[in-house]
Structure 1
């Protein structure tokens, strides 16, 4: 029998859902519809718009009444800061609102009606929680919740099954559903906007796991609403990518290296192996998912620019919010 914790200590009004969107008003509308009908609802819903050029602003405003005007906070950024910058800003706004819990998500999901209640059941026990989500076709989406720390890469075949406890320890994170307590945000600071896209959530989840017991729980709370081209590998899928992702996948390895060095966990040989495996994986993705060899130049550009970041002696990790509070 699966263990189900008590929700008695969780107040839904103490939670904020923070969404990052960019030029996908149709998907955002579907997500906002799900937020308007969920029960219970969070205390606030923060929408970070990465300088969209479509009708995103109008779409958000059309939901203001159904989401309760006081609960909806809309921030349109002046420039596109990528998912990393958007989630950093979303976390900042939610934190400054006094939120105890912050639930991050992209615009290409919808929340199941009892999603917040399901996450809240685990809130009295853990402070960094990841729920499960359905893929576009309704199947269970497999997320790589464990990181091989010395390599700095996810473990692709970590067990998918849950035992009777209903949770599994994780040392990673995914901004498509990360549910995190303000105490942990205070200690590790905001997500690093310098990543722009890719590796940012894995790094943030890894940092959180160094401060608290992080878990993925056997609760379906989200559903993906965007179909992505995939290569069916049987027990796993490999998604299509883009030239921008290929560039940042390799460039941002340098940021992981910087964080590792700052925390004295960097092993040059093993981390280099992780970078090589990442490069190889992206080549496989190009050939078997996207059926092309074009795009490899973006991998090499990312490596080149990553070397410049690695040499930057002025670089510092994101500061804890404790320090900022003390200075204020």
Structure 2
């Protein structure tokens, strides 16, 4: 008799920082999720009582939780670097990655597991309005980005409910042990912004099978001004009110474009940034900050964001 195939060990990784209430919410959802072997929580040196709460054993019921607290805040990039490393070390065949402010809808993991990819995830919906995407995407064969879930469902209808070659990492995405061992861990020096995109680009370069499963849903608060229209509506810009996020975005985006797309794309990003903060949202401060981030990216200097953490 042929032995039944081994059920993969799936470990969820949650990265958290100073959002205990949101962490409790996502853990409540994960602890009752079938097929999960364990939950790894990476606490980025929180100061709001999260560390003490995790240490108290409050999260002992349901799927077991393994919590680690870092000695300093390493951002989402450092958190996912450590979380993925720990999950692999603890025997995961599949790792389910997410931040503390997102939450999988019931059945999300089961729907993802109906498909066989290397790096795949759910549709990430705006929690305030689940008829819209939280993060706008550009569909295959289209020049403009889309926000409406109806557009996504229509595009996936002819492909079994799947959008190939598109995924929003690290929001409820699954990554196989084989792929993680092949391409390595997220770049912890990025701190925040662009580390998830870089990981997808690395997976893409390695020939990984990437997809979004449209019927699997993951809720995430719609924040900042991602996808702000500019240039008379011809394109969008990922504006954020946070100087920390913007600095890291400018720096890390330059690194990603240089390493994976080429210098013409770097130039296009520089010009787009200048246009946005000169005409769309005029701000001399943001032009200066953008220049600092871009210069740091060109120099591979990943230390400048720390001044925002003081």
Kindly tell me: are residues 284 and 128 of structure 1, through their superposed partners in 2, closer, same or farther at Cα, counting changes over 3 Å?
Answer: farther
**1:254–1:309: 8 Å Cα contact kept in structure 2?**
no
Q: Normalized against structure 1, the TM-score is what? A: 0.75
Residues in 2 aligned to 1:257 and 1:244: alpha-carbon distance in whole angstroms:
20
Matched, 1:156 2:145: yes
Q: Normalized against structure 2, the TM-score is what? A: 0.79
SS at match of 1:302: helix
- Size of the aligned set, in residue pairs, is 281
Residue in 2 aligned with 1:207? 202
Kindly tell me: are residues 283 and 205 of structure 1, through their superposed partners in 2, closer, same or farther at Cα, counting changes over 3 Å?
Answer: farther
SS at match of 2:15: strand
Given candidates 154, 161, 166, the residue that maps to 1:166 is 161
Given candidates 66, 69, 72, the residue that maps to 1:73 is 66
* 1:64 to partner: Cα distance: 2.7
RMSD between aligned alpha carbons?
3.2
Residue in 2 aligned with 1:29? 24
Matched, 1:242 2:242: yes
Residue in 2 aligned with 1:105? 98
Unaligned runs of 5+ in 1: 1-7, 149-153, 261-265, 311-328
Residues in 2 aligned to 1:95 and 1:206: alpha-carbon distance in whole angstroms:
21
Q: Deviations over 1:133-157 (max 9, x none)?
A: 3312132342355699xxxxx9734
Unaligned runs of 5+ in 2: 302-310
Given candidates 261, 273, 277, the residue that maps to 2:272 is 277
Matched, 1:55 2:49: yes
Residue in 1 aligned with 2:295? 304
Residues in 1 aligned to 2:237 and 2:250: alpha-carbon distance in whole angstroms:
21
Higher normalized contact order (CA 8 Å, seq sep 6+, divided by chain length): 1
Aligned pairs for 1:1-328 (under 5 A) are 11=7, 14-38=9-33, 40-60=34-54, 61-68=56-63, 71-122=64-115, 125-142=116-133, 143-145=135-137, 156-157=145-146, 160=152, 161=154, 162-164=156-158, 165-170=160-165, 173-210=168-205, 211-224=207-220, 226=221, 228=223, 230=225, 240-257=240-257, 259-260=259-260, 266-278=261-273, 280-281=275-276, 286=281, 294-309=285-300
* Greater share of residues in strand: 2
* 1:94 to partner: Cα distance: 0.7
* 1:126 to partner: Cα distance: 1.2
Kindly tell me: are residues 229 and 199 of structure 1, through their superposed partners in 2, closer, same or farther at Cα, counting changes over 3 Å?
Answer: closer
Residue in 2 aligned with 1:326? none
